[in-house]
Amino acid sequence: MVMEFNKELDARGLHCPLPILKTKKALADMLSGEVLRVLATDSGSVRDFQAFAKQTGNDLLEQSEENREFIFFMKRK
């Protein structure tokens, strides 16, 4: 099943904390209930996105890894 999203953020090549900071900024520009797809290559981002979701109340709908790239779907609270 393909996850639908409203906006995409390419954070590939960025290291902590930039993927999270850019995600926070992108979510701030979105409406409640919209979904942001984030692409990242930093292996620490898996742990960071889980913590970010808990701290902010935004939902981490899905996370996966393909070819050393991490894909996150965040739903704006």
Q: Tell me if residue 35 is catalytic.
A: no
pLDDT, residue 43, reads 93
In a domain, 60, yes or no: yes
CA distance 1 to 59: 18
Asked if 71 and 63 count as a contact pair (C-beta separation under 8 A), the reply is yes
In a domain, 71, yes or no: yes
In a domain, 50, yes or no: yes
Asked if 63 and 72 count as a contact pair (C-beta separation under 8 A), the reply is yes
**Tell me: the pLDDT tens digits for 21-54?**
999 999 999 999 999 999 999 999 999 999 999 9
Report pTM: 0.95
Whole-angstrom Cα Rg for the chain: 11
**Tell me: the pLDDT tens digits for 8-20?**
999 999 999 999 9
Number of domains comprising the chain = 1
Q: CATH no. for residue 47?
A: 3.30.110.40
User: Which position among 16, 18, 26, 46 bears the catalytic label?
Assistant: 16
In a domain, 54, yes or no: yes
In a domain, 1, yes or no: no
Cα angle, residue 49 at apex, residues 19 and 71 outer, rounded to 5°: 75
In a domain, 2, yes or no: no
Domain of residue 27 covers 7-75
Single-letter amino acid, residue 8: E
